[in-house]
Amino acid sequence: MTAARSTTESELSAVADEAVALVRRWVAEAAAESVDPAAARLAGVLREPGGLAFTVGFVDGVIRPEDRRVAARNLARLAPSTPGFLPWYLRTAVRAGGVAGPAAPWLVIPVARRALRGMVGHLVVDATERRLGPAIAAARGPGVRLNMNLLGEAVLGEREAARRLAGTMALVERADVDHVSIKVSASTAPHAPWAFEETVTQVVEALCPLYARAAATRPSTFINLDMEEYRDLDLTIAVFTALLDRPELRRLEAGVVLQAYLPDALGALVRLGEWSATRVTAGGAPITVRIVKGANLPMERVEASLRGWPAAPYGSKEETDANYKRLLEHALRPERVNAVRVGVAGHNLFDLAFAWVLAGRRGVRHGLRFEMLRGMAQTQARVVAREVGGLLLYTPAVRPAEFDVAIAYLVRRLEEGASQENFMSAVFDLADDGLLFAREERRFRASLARLEAELAAPPAARRTQNRQLQSVGSAADTPGVGFRNAPDTDPSLAANRAWARRILLRAGTSTLGADLVERAAVRTRAELDEVLAGAVAAGPGWAALGGAGRAQVLLRAADQLERCRGELVEVMVAEAGKTVDQADPEVSEAVDFARYYAARAAELDDVDGAVFRPVRLTVVTPPWNFPVAIPAGSTLAALAAGSSVILKPAGPARRCGAVLARALWAAGVPRDVLRLIDVDEGELGKALVSDPRVDRLLLTGAFETAELFRSWRPDLALLAETSGKNAIVVTPSADVDLAVRDVVASAFGHGGQKCSAASLLILVGSAARSRRLRDQLVDAVGSLVVGPAHESTSQVGPLIEPASGKLLAALTTLGPGERWLVRPRRLDADGRLWSPGVRDGVARGSEFHRTEYFGPVLGIMTAADLAEAVEIQNDVDFGLTAGLHSRDADELAYWLRHVEAGNLYVNRGITGAIVGRQPFGGWKRSAVGPGTKAGGPTYLYALGDWTGRPSTAVADLGAAARRLLGAAREVAGAREAAGAQEAAAAQEAAAAGGVAASALAGLERALRSDAVAWADAYGVAREVGGLAVERNVLRYLPVPVEVRLPETGGIVALVRVVAAGLRAGSAVRVSVAGRLPEPLRVAFTERGVPWREETGADWLAGVARAAARRAELRLRLVGGDAGAVAAVTRGRPEIVVHAGPVTESGRLELLPFLREQAVSLTAHRFGTPDGLVDGLL
């Protein structure tokens, strides 16, 4: 132990004893102070069980909503739980309002809001001109000054940023205001995440007039640059130092915040100290660093959880408390305080006493000031102010008409105060409860002990991702660790920003992958035939590796894709016009596909009741809009399933596909197994798609492309993810700011060129009349920066090709009754750069309502109520993604029951499905083929063929299965009894196909396998994300199916298939050739299964008529010729044919009767679980 460390430890121990004694005195003095009613109410909120939940629920549910009817419904729900700490008259008013509110909301709600705002109104002040002055005067006192922070609507665009700056400027210019706070995020519109240097410049220019005005006031107004999120740490410091480096501001003393819950704070404090020392030496003013515990811990955890990053803050309160003292111990030294003054912000009396005693011992109290939150512990604040000679009160200001914008602030303050880990939970009872005092003293001393133990080696930052390093690690093959999603690149880290900056510098002139494309060119039928023959010949060797063997190659592919992240991002930016924030997650998705399908490949080796047989050849035809993730997903899925693959990238993204293929080859995928080709989309393309050697074709593209492929080859085994016309519904109960944020991101990410993008916004009831919603939407959309993808400031990149046809019309021409809320503008000569547009007044059934445009244009529709909104949402040919923003559990439940789409999103954006967490795929014309979801547990099942084997499942059969099994036994018994003499019996026996005892045993095994598959996989909505802050549920819903038994089929197989349909809850109907045995007639009728007897010709004619009507139809053939169905339907994509052999596997046989739906629901409110979505699924 060094002498310096020993001295510090001894000093800290002495400081601790003195600080504890000081706190005892402060507590005693505070107990003698008069307690104002506001403080008493706050104490009640924090003490009483249910007090916090009621208060937060009231603030969020009754004060926030614009629609008084919504507020009244929420008040009615809250009224029965009215807490006892409220005065009797308020309790009575709340309960009466709960009864009368729904009937007369216009009368009850304003009164209730005014009355109960008093519970939390003392935490903020009225920002209106008439009342602000008196409020400031009343709050100030001897030695007490205010640090004003103007709250406002979420800054989604430049208009609100300018309004917030103007309001803060007005505060600076007031004679009665000497301190103000403002955040970087409140001074400008949201910026592109990878434009760090440009954002610093932009924010400095925006804030410079404010700082200049502060410097000109006499005395100068102190501006504190605040910060809430870790992502803004580097940005805030860079803006702060750049501002104060300006010559006209060198003499201005200003402040910046550091958050002690970040291990990074000590390094930031050291850097600020060095910079400020240089500034002071050159004649500049010192700065103040305001040290807080941390402003937004719950939301930091949310972001980390969703993005797969380590949480930036410490994991425990003790670690944070130790770091708080570490920062004070570092800063409170004579050689440092002349350059960096210290603002000690908080309510923990032990921390305040520690700082005061330590500063006194070191003779630096002149460089120390204290700050507390207005209204949180007023008696303690008065005592501390007397002791230290002054106090600054952090005072949010908000206009009463905008009180709802204070919701997030108030919720954080109240929840922090109520937490048993937080000092505030004890502050009102320390004088009377010795056990509480002892608890807080123990915590204080424990944090000091941790600090002393870590003096020589303070904890390192928790976020250390560095894309400049090439090392990777696979979670999927780590013992004891299951599948984990790959984290995206974190732009808050300087090393990653440097990595992205270099990519952007290269991307403007990059030709990456061009050489591979040239070598992959196929220009003649002979060359194409050679590729096809070679791929088919390589298939058996790849298949022979088995699922487990192929999985090992895919795991290596995941690691190689990580190593190639920079190259893949570069080629996407350069060729496909994707901005880095859109391109980087694609690489993560590709890595996820490799690891996820590796796990699924291994599972193929052991499926109960069936044996998987790889097919020879799969052709992958991906789109240009996701030029890495989708070709990777399709290719890796086919490889996992044991097939050779021909990858034909989309023309505008050929280089992206080539770089992807090279990465997979480098990982060990044989070149003869994975063939990259560049082929024209004319005759050679047609020849590729229609070649009979192609066993599967995986398409992602327009529904019209699926139609074209099937017209070339009607029997093509096509699995396609196709078009979407997706809408987000916003009800009056929604959080307007969050809804607008998610709508804008969903509509205009990648220029709206996503099949999952929001094309429609449906506003329900009063939401359609909300001026705030429309103003925020216009502000956010109009502030988006459009530019080339290689420019870091671009938030919306170029179209893949010049706008033409229906997209050009959507960008330039309005339909009847429509108007531009935001008019799109062409920004370049060739028509690839367009500013986003928003059209209002879109009518139900109009062209814009029903047409997919694939570009940066959003249409607004209105609905009288949620039921109508859902009808509008469903009234399209597609069913890919759908969203709802609502804070009403009944509305969520109704929507989840009735909306028709494969991927549902609640209170979040509707794009960016994550492998495993939100398996992706649609309903209706958004999917062609069996409908299993990419990135989901069953996707590989359709990529090969299956043969049967005996099931080993053990389960109770259930009533329906027992009834059908009994009927099958009756058929077998009748056949034996009748003998072969009677012609009728002979006919029936032929239809039975020989119901032998072994077949009946197999049927019983199959029905037990169904029961297991239903219980374990399909019969319950399953949580698949494993996140506390977001529920991600995969569920299987029944779909109608027609079962066809031809002349050559068997009765046992028919019963087996029908039983699977009934187990799935499907509306099953049966068509049989010949006579259906009487026991099955009876059993089917009892179970509500309609049946008919018809010839093959008649049945095919009916199927052909359905195809001609473009009707959706699922068929399960129990034997027979699938080619005949393909011929009569001409391959219509709406007709889905399941024609594989009937097996005993419940996992397989239930799937034709089900369609998958992935539901993603935000499960927190400002970072804290709120229970809104509990029990919905």
* Cα–Cα distances in angstroms (integers) from residue 509 to residues 270, 352, 467, in the given order: 40, 57, 22
CA distance 120 to 413: 10
Long-range CB pairs of 545-548, under 8 A, 24+ apart, other chains included? 545/642, 546/605, 547/601, 547/602, 547/603, 547/604, 547/605, 547/612, 547/640, 547/642, 548/601, 548/602, 548/605
**b/e for 6-28, b at 16 or more Cβ within 10 A?**
eeebeebeebbebbbebbbebbe
Helix (H) or strand (E) holding 990: helix 983-992
The residues near 1116 (Cβ < 8 Å, ≥ 6 apart) are 1041, 1042, 1043, 1044, 1057, 1061, 1138, 1152, 1153
Query: Which letter does DSSP use for residue 750 in this model?
Result: G
Give the number of other Cβ atoms within 10 Å of residue 81's Cβ: 13
Give the whole-angstrom CA distance, residue 512 versus residue 516.
Answer: 9
Alpha helices per DSSP H over 1025-1068 = 1051-1064
Residue 822 Ramachandran class (φ > 0 left, ψ -120 to 50 alpha, else beta)? beta
Paired strand residues for 674: 645
How many Å separate Cα 275 from the centre of its chain? 39
- Catalytically annotated residue among 253, 415, 721, 852: 721
Q: Is 656 a catalytic residue?
A: no
Residue 219: is the preceding peptide bond cis (ω within 30°)?
Answer: yes
Contact between 779 and 157 (Cβ < 8 Å)? yes
Q: Confirm whether 721 is a catalytic residue.
A: yes
Residue 796: DSSP 8-state? B
What's the alpha-carbon Rg for the chain, to the nearest Å? 34
- Which of 586, 755, 1149, 1156 is an active site residue? 755
> What is the spatial distance between Cα 1177 and Cα 1160, in angstroms, rounded to a whole number?
11
Dihedral angle at the C-alpha atoms of 687, 922, 802, 783, nearest 10 degrees?
Answer: -160
Neighbour count for residue 791 (Cβ, 10 Å): 18
What is the Cα–Cα distance from 726 to 883, expressed in whole angstroms? Answer: 8
CA torsion through residues 225, 229, 230, 231, sign? negative
Identify whether the C-beta of residue 483 lies closer than 8 Å to the C-beta of residue 599: yes
Q: At residue 1086, what is the residue type?
A: E
Among the listed residues 933, 916, 914, the one whose alpha carbon sits nearest the alpha carbon of residue 721: 933
Q: Among all residues, which ones are annotated catalytic?
A: 721, 755
